[in-house]
Amino acid sequence: MSARVLVAGDANLDLVLRGDVRPRFGQAEQYLTDAALVLGSSAGICASGLARLGVDVGLVARVGTDFFGERTRALLAANGVDASEVAAVPGATGLSVILSDADRSILTLPGAMATLTIEQVWDAVVRTGATHLHLASFFLVPDLAARGAELLGRARAAGLTTSLDTNWDPREVWDGAAGCLPHLDVLLPNATEAVELAARLGGGRPADAVAAARLLASGGPLVVVKDGGDGAFAVDGEQVARVASLPVEVVDTTGAGDSFDAGFLTAWLEGRPLAVCLAWASVAGSISVTGAGGTGRQATREELERAGAGRVGQSR
Ligand X SMILES: Nc1ncnc2c1ncn2[C@@H]1O[C@H](COP(=O)(O)OP(=O)(O)OP(=O)(O)O)[C@@H](O)[C@H]1O
Judged by CB under 5 A, the chain residues 143 through 182 that form the site for Mg ion are: 167
Q: Does 254 bind Mg ion (CB under 5 A)?
A: no
Q: Choose among ligand X, Mg ion, none what residue 179 binds, the Cβ cut-off being 5 to 8 Å by kind.
A: none
Fill in the DSSP letter of residue 99.
E
Q: Does 10 bind ligand X (CB under 6 A)?
A: no
Q: How far is the CB of 243 from Mg ion (least distance, A)?
A: 16
Q: Are 52 and 78 in contact (CB under 8 A)?
A: no
Helices (H), the chain: 42-52, 67-78, 118-128, 142-157, 177-180, 191-199, 209-217, 256-269, 274-288, 301-311
Which span (14-22, 72-80, 250-258, 305-313) binds Mg ion, by CB under 5 A?
A: 250-258
Q: Does 231 bind ligand X (CB under 6 A)?
A: yes
Of 139 and 280, nearer to Mg ion (C-beta) is 139
Which span (7-15, 113-121, 130-138, 249-257) binds Mg ion, by CB under 5 A?
A: 249-257
Q: Are 189 and 226 in contact (CB under 8 A)?
A: yes
Q: Describe the crossing of helices 301-311 and 256-269 by its angle, rounded to 10 degrees.
A: 80
Q: How far apart are CA 13 and CA 10, in angstroms?
A: 10
Q: Does 250 bind ligand X (CB under 6 A)?
A: yes
Q: Choose among Mg ion, ligand X, none what residue 315 binds, the Cβ cut-off being 5 to 8 Å by kind.
A: none
Q: Does 232 bind ligand X (CB under 6 A)?
A: yes
Sole binder of ligand X in the list 253, 272, 292, 297 (CB under 6 A):
253
Return all residues near 2 (Cβ < 8 A) that are at least 6 apart. 55, 56, 269
Q: Choose among ligand X, Mg ion, none what residue 309 binds, the Cβ cut-off being 5 to 8 Å by kind.
A: none
Q: How far apart are CA 180 and CA 159, in angstroms?
A: 16
Q: How far apart are CA 283 and CA 307, in angstroms?
A: 7
Q: Does 257 bind Mg ion (CB under 5 A)?
A: yes
The residues binding ligand X (CB under 6 A) are: 167, 190, 226-229, 231-232, 245-246, 248, 250, 253, 255-258, 260, 282, 285-286, 289
